[in-house]
Every structure is written in C-alpha cells, then in structure tokens.
Amino acid sequence: MEFWQNFDYIMLFKAFIVGGLICVIGQILIDKTKLTPARILVTFVTLGTILGGLGLYEYLVDFAGCGATVPLLGFGNNLAKGAIESVKENGILGAFTGGLKASAGGISAAVFFGYIASLISKPKMKKQ
Amino acid sequence: MNNPLDTNKAYQTYVDKKSPNSPIIKNCIMAFLIGGLICSIGQVIFSYCEFKGLDETSSGTIVSIILIGLSAFLTGLNIFNKIGKIAGAGSLVPITGFANSIVAPAMEYKSEGYVMGVGAKMFTIAGPVLVYGISTSIIVGLAYFIFNTQAILV
C-alpha cells in the first residue's frame, strides 16, 4: 500500500520512545509518591498547559509527534496553544475561548463516547 | 502500649513494612512499552490522516477522538482495566486514561440512575482535570496577552 511506503518509521520510533518515557515518569510518580491516579491526570494536564504556555512543549511535539501529543501533557499543551493562538486573533477575549475551542474535539468525544460506553456496559460487581 | 497503630506515622511505617514492595522496575518497563505502543498507534493514525491530506490540527484531533473512543468502549467492556492492571501509568498517562477516568466511575454508579449516577459521576476525575486544565489555559492566555510570555523565552 502506498501509505506504508511513504510512512515515516523514524517518527514512529521517536513517538514510541518519547511516549513511553513520559509514561515512565507517571509510573515513578505513582510508585514513589502515592499520588492517586486523579492527581496524576491533573498534574500532567496542568504541567502540559504551563509548558505549552511557555512555548517549550512545541519542541517536543516537533521532535516526537504523537509521542508528545497523545500523553495528557499534549492535551494541556493543546489548551495553552489554543488560548495563545486565540489571543493573537481576538485579544483578551481569546484567553477565555481559545483553550476549549482547541480541545473541543477531544472533550466532546470523551463525554459522548464515555456516556455511550457506560450505557452499554454491564454493571459488574467487583471481585475480591 | 507499643501498638504500631498508635500514631499516623508509626502506622505508615508499619504498612510500608507489611505491604510488598512494588516492583518499580518491572512497572516502569510495562508502562514504557504500553505507553509507547499507544503513542505509536496514535502516530500511525496521525500519519494516515496527513496522508489523506488533512492538516496537522485536524489530524491531531482525529487521533484524540479515535483513541478516546477506543478506550471508552474497552473500558465499558471491562477490557481496559485488565490492560491498566499490567500497564499502570502506561495506559493512564496517555489520553486513553482521560477516557477511562470518565467511563469507569460512570459504570460504577450506573445503579444510581442516568442523571445523578452516570451523568454526574462521569466527572469525578475528569471534572478536576478540566477545572485545572481550563483555568491554567486562561491564565496562560492572559499572561500571553499581558507579558507576551513566548517572546521572553524563545
């Protein structure tokens, strides 16, 4: 297939390594600090937003593609990037509209698919 | 009087001594492999979207939507929590963890009804994520408006 002939395998490799390493940071946080998963998620998104706001995360995105955008740091970066782009276009109003606009797809998908998935799921008593 | 459960601190060291050491190296390797794999799946979808002529932003959004959809349904089918047990942060830190954090509590509280059960509990974990994410993005936007933050660093 033509797609696989033009496929950038080096980028795939970089995405695997960088994405994996970001998850290792999360795993060390879980094992060493007893942070709950909820706090890990909040920490990663907030950290990503700050790194994105300083313009630093974009270097990692350029280097590793989805290795940087798929982890929640990338979700945060997307919020920050959206806010900044929007401020450039609409001034101060953009600070309030840009973040959600840029991540609307992901958030809406999460709410929608999340709702559907919980509807079709069978409630199951916890074992143990 | 030497009951180890007397004070919080003593209790903590007591628990640490009794609970098995988590095999951190093994956990990290599994997190690396599965986290890397999820990002690689994302990269393949992303490349395919670009191959089909979509721009970078749309491709990124499609990657998020597909990964979120997949992990939501895998959570609903009780498959994701089995992966999560092995992968640890490997499935939690990617965007899949966000979708999982929405479906898992919604499933658990389904018996409380569709509004206050599913509808409300969906956001037990996703709510804080959105609160802090969105608030930080507004601060970032305001900071950029006032100080032009990116021009300082780059």
Cβ distance B89 to A24 less than 8 Å, yes or no, reads yes
Residues 6+ apart with CB under 8 A from B148: none
A126 domain-assigned: no
Q: Please report, as a single letter, which amino acid is at residue A17.
A: I
pLDDT at B19: 62
Q: How sure is the predictor about A128, in pLDDT bands with cuts at 50, 70 and 90? A: very low
What integer is the mean pLDDT of A66-91? 95
- Does residue A53 fall inside a structural domain? yes
B102 neighbourhood in chain A, CB within 8 Å: 110-111, 114
Q: Is A44 near chain B, with CB under 8 Å?
A: yes
Would residue A77 count as lying in a domain? yes
Flag whether residue A93 sits within 8 Å of chain B, measured between CB atoms. no
ipTM associated with this complex: 0.91
Q: Is the pLDDT of residue A112 over 80?
A: yes
Task: Report the residue from B62, B126, B149 with minimal CB separation from A110.
Answer: B126
For the ranges A25-29, B22-26, B81-85, the lowest mean pLDDT is seen at B22-26
Distance (Å) from the C-alpha of residue B1 to the closest C-alpha of chain A?
29
User: Closest by alpha carbon to B39, among A79, A80, A22?
Assistant: A22
Which residues fall within 8 angstroms of residue A80, CB to CB, at 6 or more apart?
A48, A49, A50, A51, A52, A53, A57, A99, B136, B137, B140, B141
- Interval B123-153: pLDDT, tens: 999 999 999 999 999 999 999 999 887 666 5
* pLDDT for the residue A124: 59
| Average pLDDT value over all residues in chain B | 88
In a domain, A85, yes or no: yes
Q: To the nearest whole angstrom, how far is the Cα of A78 from the nearest Cα of chain B? A: 9
Asked if A47 reaches chain B (Cβ–Cβ under 8 Å), the answer is no
One-letter amino acid at B55 equals D
Tell whether A60 is within 8 A of chain B (Cβ). no
φ, ψ at B23 (rounded to 5°): -70, 85
| B39 closest CB neighbour out of A8, A70, A86 | A70
Q: Does B49 touch chain A (CB under 8 A)?
A: no
- Spell out a b/e string for A2-22, using b for 16 or more CB atoms within 10 Å of the CB, else e: eeeeebeeebbebbbbbbbbb
A9-33 and A37-53 helices cross at what angle (nearest 10)? Answer: 130
Q: Using a CB-CB distance cutoff of 8 angstroms, which residues of chain A are in contact with residue B35?
A: 19-20, 22-24, 26, 71
Q: Does the residue A94 lie in any domain?
A: yes
Whether the predicted model's global pTM rises above the 0.90 cut? no
| Interface contact flag, A115 B65, Cβ < 8 Å | no
Using only C-alpha atoms, chain B has a radius of gyration, in whole angstroms, of: 21
Largest Cα–Cα distance of chain A, in whole Å?
55
Q: What's residue A24's pLDDT?
A: 96
- Say whether residue B113 is in contact with chain A using an 8 A CB cutoff: no
**pLDDT of amino acid A1:** 73
Q: Which residues of A89-116 are buried (b: 16+ CB within 10 A; e: fewer)?
A: eeeeebbbbbbbebbebbbebbbebbbe
- CB contacts, 8 Å: B33 with chain A: 20
Which DSSP letter does residue B115 get?
I
Cα–Cα distance between B98 and B85 in angstroms, integer?
16
Yes or no: say if B39 and A66 are a contact pair by the CB < 8 Å rule. yes
Q: Quick one: which of B69, B97, B68, B136 has its CA closest to A98?
A: B136
Answer yes or no: do A50 and B33 touch at CB < 8 A.
no
DSSP A46-77: HHHHHHHHTT-HHHHHHHHTHHHHSBHHHHHH
- Per-residue pLDDT reduced to its tens digit, B116-125: 889 999 999 9
- Chain B residues in contact with A106 by the CB 8 A cut-off are 61, 64-65, 68, 95, 98
Of B88, B95, B71, nearest to A73 (Cα)? B95
Residue numbers of the domain that contains A12: 2-120
Q: How many of the other CB atoms lie within 10 Å of CB of B10? A: 13
A127: in domain = no
Question: What is the DSSP secondary structure assignment for residue A91, as one 8-state letter?
Answer: T
* Residue matched to tokens 């597909």: B66
| Total domains in the fold of chain A | 1
